[in-house]
Amino acid sequence: MSAARIGVVDTMFSRADMGSLCVKTLKEYAPKPVEVLRRTVPGVKDLPVAAKKLLEEEKCEIVLALGMPGKEEIDKICAHEASQGIIHVQLLTNRHIIEVFVHEDEAKDGNDLAQLMKNRAEKHALNALDLLFNPASLIQRAGTGQRQGRENAVSLQLI
């Protein structure tokens, strides 16, 4: 049987190359052979159709969609439109797309931004592998306050 195909699509707008990092992480940690396909588009609003093409035309089984929305109000709106489109693609294809967005204003400076982008991209690449190869492992972490890129939240017992 052939290797599972995983798509990675990122943007030229982003201030750091999360795409290459995701490709590297996927290849390093995949429990089975994978083929990783990479695409780059201008900005986050171009991600939905690029992801759809990876799923439909390139037969990827899952896609990571990476973006770094800027600080302006208009950037927030673009990110919202992109997210709606990314959800829509998933419903049209019955496949998961892991959205990895780091908002520029989540970070206090350039260093912090780079750290956050690195951390979130790596963690979500691992999530994508788990969703694809070991979905039951996610159930074991259900409701545990997982945060990709920052410290996890405190988890609570429901008694």
Regarding 63 and contact with its own copies (CB under 8 A), the answer is: no
Task: Among 6, 26, 83, 129, indicate the residue that binds its own copies (CB under 8 A).
Answer: 83
Regarding 59 and contact with its own copies (CB under 8 A), the answer is: no
Closest separation in Å from C-beta 123 to its own copies: 9
Task: Among 27, 35, 61, 103, indicate the residue that binds its own copies (CB under 8 A).
Answer: 103
Regarding 99 and contact with its own copies (CB under 8 A), the answer is: yes
Task: Among 85, 129, 132, 149, indicate the residue that binds its own copies (CB under 8 A).
Answer: 85
- Give 1 or 109: the residue with its C-beta nearer to its own copies: 109
Distance CA 2, CA 41 (A): 28
Closest separation in Å from C-beta 129 to its own copies: 12
> Residues 113 to 132: which contact its own copies by CB under 8 A?
113-114, 117-118, 121, 124, 127, 131
Q: Which three-class secondary structure string do you get for the chain?
A: CCCEEEEEEEECCCCCCHHHHHHHHHHHHCCCCEEEEEEEECCHHHHHHHHHHHHHCCCCCEEEEEECCCCCHHHHHHHHHHHHHHHHHHHHHCCCEEEEECCHHHCCCHHHHHHHHHHHHHHHHHHHHHHHHCCHHHHCCCCCCCCCCCCCCCCCCCC
Regarding 139 and contact with its own copies (CB under 8 A), the answer is: yes
